[in-house]
Chains A and B, each alone.
Chain A
């Protein structure tokens, strides 16, 4: 099955700086890679996703890049703000075969220092 590794587990950046979170996956057949933001006491919220036929996707201050050859993908947040503080999860899924759910990384606790 799929295995997703996520780094770092904790990331502290100054407000206004950029933050980068990296994930690797093991199943070369995986073709869908969403990122979720989870605030304390809440459910995960989808913030951006990318499919394997695309190398990069951007939505305002958030961007995701995918390197299929190396089997890794990254989340980039620019001009960080206090409200970006949360736990971020990457995930991967193979939609071509079975009906398994998403496989998640263990999460990155992003702390924005004022």
Chain B
């Protein structure tokens, strides 16, 4: 089992460009979560998705950020017109179908976005 796969590991973008971060959940996991981590900070929840559905996007900035988890393929976190403040590590996590109990999330290794 390859675990949660994120790519790219590192991404450099100029201000105003678009950043696309990809996440493939663990085999058998149907829930995907995106978190952002600033230096010396904890992880901030951004969005929770299931296949073809956004379940909770309460942590997403209202503008420039979007996420999807299509029927086929990885989940994508998209940041349009990036600014320096978007520089952070973005982590994806997945979990199996929740049957009334929480399962521990499995995190990927993250994508470190640097905006220059």
Query: Which A residues have a C-beta under 8 Å from some C-beta of B?
Result: 6, 31-32, 34, 36, 41-46, 49, 51, 89, 93, 95, 98-107
Is B42 in contact with chain A by the CB < 8 A criterion?
yes
Chain A residues near B6 (CB, 8 Å)?
43
Of A31, A46, A100, A107, the residue contacting B42 (CB under 8 A) is: A107
Of A32, A51, A103, A107, the residue contacting B45 (CB under 8 A) is: A103
**Chain B: interface residue count, which band?**
20 to 34
Taking a contact as CB atoms under 8 Å apart, the answer to whether A101 and B33 are in contact is yes
Taking a contact as CB atoms under 8 Å apart, the answer to whether A46 and B109 are in contact is no
Taking a contact as CB atoms under 8 Å apart, the answer to whether B102 and A43 are in contact is no
Taking a contact as CB atoms under 8 Å apart, the answer to whether A43 and B56 are in contact is no
Taking a contact as CB atoms under 8 Å apart, the answer to whether B56 and A98 are in contact is yes
Some 9 contacts from A to B, beta carbons below 8 A apart, are A34-B104, A36-B107, A43-B6, A43-B110, A44-B91, A46-B105, A100-B48, A101-B45, A101-B56
Chain A residues near B12 (CB, 8 Å)?
none
Taking a contact as CB atoms under 8 Å apart, the answer to whether B107 and A95 are in contact is no
Taking a contact as CB atoms under 8 Å apart, the answer to whether B101 and A95 are in contact is yes
Chain A residues near B100 (CB, 8 Å)?
95
